[in-house]
Amino acid sequence: MHFKSHWAALLLGGFACTAFAATPQDTVKLHQRALAATCANCHGTEGRTTEGSAIPSLAGMPREYMVAQMKAFREGTRPATVMHQLTKGLTDQQIETVSTYFSTLKR
């Protein structure tokens, strides 16, 4: 590569990285979305199940309600088929993160 074109590539690459740099808020949203994606197998993409499903949609669910239900699943105080096992590995922070994410989505 010619010296001038090498510098041009580095300069353009630097501008591209700057133009697409994630803000701390973007990083938080991405983390929330990635963690919430683990729920998609049962609760649908973005927490929206198909109409008539026995599994509830999570999109738009009130945050505090969802936190309470997930903790109840984790502690075994709410009956479940698989949720008690799925939530067992979640920390309080992860439960709050997922609950916050879904509560901000439209039903």
pLDDT digits (tens, 9 = 90+) for 53-84: 999 999 999 999 999 999 999 999 999 999 99
Of 85, 55, 48, 87, the C-alpha closest to 68 is 87
Phi, then psi, of 90 in degrees rounded to 5: -90, 140
Output the pTM of the full model. 0.73
Q: State the pLDDT at residue 25.
A: 84
Q: State the pLDDT at residue 13.
A: 56
Q: State the pLDDT at residue 27.
A: 86
Q: Map out the domains of the chain as residue ranges.
A: 22-103
Classified by CATH at the fold level, domain 22-103 comes out as Cytochrome Bc1 Complex; Chain D, domain 2 (1.10.760)
Give 91's DSSP letter.
-
pLDDT digits (tens, 9 = 90+) for 18-36: 555 678 888 888 888 888 8
